[in-house]
Amino acid sequence: MCGIAGYIGKNQASNFLLDALKRLEYRGYDSAGMAVLNGENNLNYLKSLGRINELEEKMKKIELNGCLGIAHTRWATHGHPSEANAHPHSDCDENIFVVHNGIIENYKILKEDLIKKGHLFKSDTDTEVIAHLIEEHFKGNLEEALLSALKLVEGAYALAVISKDDPEKIVVAKKSSPLVICIGKDENFIASDSSAIAGYADKVIYLDDGELGIITKDDYRIISIANNNKIQKEHCNIDSDVADLQKNGHKYFMLKEIFESPEVIKNSTRGRIIPEKGLVKLGGLEVLDQEKLRNIKRIILIACGTASFAAMVGEYMIEEYAGIPVEVELGSEFRYRKPIIDSQTAIIAVSQSGETADTLASLEEARRKGALTLGIVNVVGSTISRETEAGVYNHAGPEIAVASTKAFISQMTVFALLSVYFGRIKEMSLTMGKRITEEIEKMPCLIEEVLKNDEQIKNIAREYSKYRNFLFMGRKYNYPIAEEGALKLKEVAYHIHAEGYAGGEMKHGPIAMIDENFPCLFIIPSDSVYEKMWSNMEEVKARNGKIIAIATEGNKEIKNIADDVIYIPKTLEMLTPILSAIPLHLFSVYMGMELGCDVDKPRNLAKSVTVE
């Protein structure tokens, strides 16, 4: 969850490190710090509680000169947010400094043993044991000491380590947490993801689990943690642009990213649709034996959080149009079950970052059982993209806000493409294939129409910001969107409690909460379950509940029952979730703003959940 960065080269390290931390702040923002080593082997460090700007203010008063350094922005796991618990952590003599993303599961046992040996601890974190373990094994060579230390460590880690007694290098290691090395000219960089390095260099190396890197200002070396053998790595292009990391006039990244939804769909579908033939071309799946795809009897979609709601929409789409049984599983639950999987089962891992720890663990379990493993990810070169046999990239571009919006829109779009792809392999007609693909191509323009309701949605949010409980309801394709709307409101307007429910379940409990102080938001497009949703609204109205409705353009009767109506254009029923999600995302942002929340960085959350 945390963000780490490192620099070694010819320039002041602190300049890059501060910039990198700002770009990585979505990974955690409880505290931050950096350590910089200069040519005279003086190692200075600085820590601060809170956001990166607190560290930046301290840096104006204290010089951190040097051309080698590491930095960290924290999402707390062990120990309360505090300066003492902020990274970097050091050994007893402040010779060795460590930044870490992950969890050391056996840290208590290691810490007790180290204390018995005379080591003095200054924090409550699990990370500090790594610094002391390295100290215990250090004999002048940093990578050898780290290799020895890692043999004792159980858990997940992305590590960057420096030492004033073995200067002119940064040593890094990876297991179950992301880490990249970027190669520049007379300078090299490391970070949790490539967005931190965009604009500084254009080539990146993705470390795999069990690999250790030794980085100097003009070279690098990768070895196996298990046997010290040298490993050759391929360079990849950084798939982001500095311009993508700017707000472009919007107050928050989340707002910018919602308004990028039309472009996101264009990017997610570009070159993938052949509308005149009713076909979808997915290059990432062409590497597979097509007969193997035809023989798939069952699909399991594995995801967490918002991605799981996109997967639920995908479940409806694929079952209805491709005729393949689909199940949606939470990665955090699937990994501990004993699922029945065989060679005719396809596992599709869905993750914006491609680094979600629970989804990755589930993927590994599925692979062991012989399933076909596929991925839907946004980050090129991410672990899921490398660990699966094939897959589809979202091409949504960098997503900076912690709460996912444009990646969610892209994921649903990719599922629509997959439905046609699998459907046409199976029994979908040319006519149906053409109808769906033609309608997918219209989606960017239809979303532009939805975004024109921005000011109306802002006013509705202002009106409803006094309420502290909401019920979101939908049916069939829009039930997952009710769940997504409630989650977004909880994430970015976190003083409010919200529940997402299937409309038919309201009578089975939630209706007890309804009164004039408990507004309900209904997703009620003119589809196959419209009348059923109308009955739900009647039940709420009979109990004096206020109603916000998301309805299809041209529906006049909805105004007779709803207090406020937000219209979306007419489209195929299977594609309505893509349109109905947009007003819910906007509603959440404006509710959060009304309540004074930082909608880009909600409290207690981090963008990429890389620890269990």
Do the Cβ atoms of 347 and 391 come closer than 8 Å?
Answer: no
* pLDDT at residue 610, rounded to an integer: 55
* pLDDT at residue 79, rounded to an integer: 76
Domains, in order of start, for the chain: 3-243 (3.60.20.10), 253-447 (3.40.50.10490), 454-594 (3.40.50.10490)
* pLDDT at residue 233, rounded to an integer: 86
Answer yes or no: is pLDDT of 168 > 70: yes
Average pLDDT, the chain: 91
Answer yes or no: is pLDDT of 606 > 80: no
* pLDDT at residue 28, rounded to an integer: 76
- What is the spatial distance between Cα 279 and Cα 395, in angstroms, rounded to a whole number? 20
Answer yes or no: is pLDDT of 612 > 90: no
Q: Are strands 43-49 and 211-215 parallel, antiparallel or unpaired?
A: unpaired
Q: Which is more confident, 102 or 524?
A: 524
Do the Cβ atoms of 359 and 306 come closer than 8 Å?
Answer: no
Query: Reduced to 3 states, what is the DSSP secondary structure of residue 528?
Result: coil
Least confident of 147-151, 285-289, 462-466, 566-570: 285-289
Angle between helices 430-451 and 261-269 (to 10 degrees): 160
Determine the average pLDDT of the residues in 247-272.
91
Please tell me the pTM assigned to this model.
Answer: 0.79
Answer yes or no: is pLDDT of 599 > 60: yes
Helical (H) or strand (E) element with 101: strand 96-104
* pLDDT at residue 464, rounded to an integer: 97
Query: Predicted confidence band at 135 (pLDDT cuts at 50, 70, 90)?
Result: very high
Determine the average pLDDT of the residues in 154-160.
92
Q: What pLDDT, in 10s, does the model give residues 454-473?
A: 999 999 999 999 999 999 99
Identify which of 543, 535, 537, 496 has the alpha carbon closest to the alpha carbon of residue 515: 543
- What is the spatial distance between Cα 108 and Cα 171, in angstroms, rounded to a whole number? 24
Identify which of 29, 22, 20 has the alpha carbon closest to the alpha carbon of residue 2: 29
Least confident of 178-182, 245-249, 369-373: 245-249
Q: Which is more confident, 196 or 77?
A: 196
Determine the average pLDDT of the residues in 197-222.
89
Answer yes or no: is pLDDT of 148 > 80: yes
Q: What pLDDT, in 10s, does the model give residues 296-318?
A: 999 999 999 999 999 999 999 99
Do the Cβ atoms of 67 and 215 come closer than 8 Å?
Answer: no
Query: Predicted confidence band at 270 (pLDDT cuts at 50, 70, 90)?
Result: very high
Instruction: Supply the residues annotated as catalytic.
Output: 2, 607
* pLDDT at residue 203, rounded to an integer: 81
Identify which of 517, 474, 522 has the alpha carbon closest to the alpha carbon of residue 497: 517
Q: What pLDDT, in 10s, does the model give residues 389-415?
A: 999 999 998 888 889 999 999 999 999
Query: Reduced to 3 states, what is the DSSP secondary structure of residue 103?
Result: strand
* pLDDT at residue 241, rounded to an integer: 54
Q: What pLDDT, in 10s, does the model give residues 92-116?
A: 999 999 999 988 999 999 999 999 9
Q: What is the 3-state secondary structure (H, E, C) of 187-243?
A: CEEEECCHHHCECCECEEEECCCCEEEEECCCCEEEEECCCCCECCCCCEECCCCHH
- What is the spatial distance between Cα 384 and Cα 376, in angstroms, rounded to a whole number? 8
Answer yes or no: is pLDDT of 200 > 90: no
* pLDDT at residue 391, rounded to an integer: 93
- What is the spatial distance between Cα 450 and Cα 610, in angstroms, rounded to a whole number? 34
Looking at the chain, the whole-number percentage of residues with pLDDT higher than 90 is: 68
Q: Which is more confident, 533 or 343?
A: 533
What is the sign of the dihedral through the CA atoms of 567, 573, 577 and 579?
Answer: negative
Query: Predicted confidence band at 1 (pLDDT cuts at 50, 70, 90)?
Result: low
Do the Cβ atoms of 157 and 102 come closer than 8 Å?
Answer: yes
DSSP for 532-546, please give it.
HHHHHHHHHHTTT--
